[in-house]
Every structure is written in C-alpha cells, then in structure tokens.
Amino acid sequence: MTAIAPAIAVEDLGKTFTLHTQGGLQLSVLRGVRLAVEPGECVALADPSGSGKSTLLRCIYGNYRPQAGRILVRDGERTVDVVGAEPRAILELRRRTLGYVSQFLRVIPRVPALDVVAEPLRALGASRAEAMAQAATMLERLRIPERLWRLSPVTFSGGEQQRVNVARGLAAGHPILLLDEPTASLDADSRARVVELIVEARHRGAALLGTFHDAEVRDAVSTRVATLHEAAA
C-alpha cells in the first residue's frame, strides 16, 4: 500500500523570537517539533498556555517565520513546504487549501459581515450571488441575526465577532483547517453550533489542527490529542 503524505507534516520545527527592541532578548518557543495530521483527523494540542500552540498554528499558516525545520502541507497533488515558500505560493495555499480561524477577528471598517464571510468564496471564483448566499447560510447556522448581516462587525460584541470569524474561516470548505481557540468568548449555544461545523468538516475529510481551551469542546471535536513537548521528545 502506498503511503499517502499527511495533510500536514511538521518536521523538526524551531521558532525563536529575537526582540531587537529589547536588547536582543531571545525567546525560544518551539524546538524540534514534530507532528502529522491526516485527512479526517482533528488533532487537538493540549499543552498549557504559553507553550507555543498558537505559534505553531501561525507557523503552519505562514504568518510566523520559523528558524528551522519544515512544514509540508498537501495542496492537491503537490506538497508545499511553507518554510521558505514564496509569498505568492503561500497566498495561493491559503486561498485554496489552508483555512485559519484565529482568536479574534481583524475588523476592516465599513465591510459588512456578509461580505467578510463571502470573501474567501469570492477568492475561489464564486459569483457574488453564490458567495453571498453561502455566507448567509453560514451566518444563519451561527445564529447571527439577519439584521446584522449588512453591518460592519466593528460594533458587534466579542461573541458575535468571533462567530463571524468562524464563519469566514469555515465558509470556503478548505481541506485543511487551523483553529486557534475557535470558541473563545462564545456562550454554550454558540459553542455547540461551532462544534457542529467543525465535526462536519472533519466528516467530509478535512484535516484539522487546533487548540481548544474548553475540555468539552475538545472532546467533542478532536480525534486525537497531541502535545508539542511530547512530540519534541
């Protein structure tokens, strides 16, 4: 049986922050991290706060630049090493394959919530009408009232903003998803809905890697728990 490459394969990853504005202080956050995520899996990182879970996710997304190691992401038939990849290769990866739900929504003033969620779909070539329709479905599922759809999330509550964030991250149906505390600041009902969406994604074959502070959520969505330190041993 031929071995199919995992969706995400992190090899020997090292990330050190050098704070030049503070006299060159070095913070070594990740060292020798090794991790693999297969399609259909949802791996939860269980390390305590401050151990670099978010850092790992950001490295995989190309948002942080590692100092050592490789991050191999499967993009259709090819594999891209995010470390050292050309900016446009990473942008293309993010457009087609790699989704990311961060801890907070970066709000652009004046852009309505519906458009925020529709944007990744437009980037994939959906018509305006199609994209808006799918975005509407998403927002409905996350119980964002319709009267808010045409407003910019600038004025939304933290919970509402986070739900828009989740909607945006999951709307396009990317095959690989990175989730950084997706249910932070959500009430129980919203959490349940987000869990539903994540499990759906998993069932359709997506590979998910995330951090879930809430144990209930973690148990509901993940198929496997891993730790960075353990992996580094």
Partner 1 sequence: MSTDGERPLLRVRGLTRWYGPHVGCLDVGFDLWPGEVLGVVGESGSGKTTLLGCLSGRLVPTAGTVEFTTREGSSVDVLRMSEADRRRLARTDWGVVHQNPRDGLRMGVTAGANVGERLMALGVRHYGAIREAALDWLGQVEIDGDRVDDMPETFSGGMQQRLQIARNLVTRPRLVFMDEPTGGLDVSVQARLLDLLRTLVADLGLSAIVVTHDLAVTRLLAHRLLVMRRGQVVESGLTDQVLDDPQHPYTQLLVSSVLQP
> Contact residues for partner 1 (CB under 8 A)?
17-21, 58, 62-65, 87-88, 90-92, 95, 108-111, 122
At 86 the three-state DSSP class reads coil
Which residue is listed with tokens 């499967």? Answer: 74
**Nearer Cβ to partner 1 (65/229):** 65
Neighbours of 116 (CB within 10 A): 24
Give CA separation, 173 vs 22, 97, 112, 140, 153, in Å.
Answer: 41, 9, 21, 16, 22
CB of 231 to partner 1, least distance (A): 22
Give CA separation, 130 vs 126, 135, 139, 194, in Å.
Answer: 6, 9, 14, 22
**Nearer Cβ to partner 1 (123/220):** 123
**Nearer Cβ to partner 1 (57/221):** 57
CB of 25 to partner 1, least distance (A): 11
Encoding tokens for residue 131? 């994209």
**Nearer Cβ to partner 1 (17/137):** 17
CB of 98 to partner 1, least distance (A): 13
Q: Residue 141: what residue type? A: R
CB of 111 to partner 1, least distance (A): 7
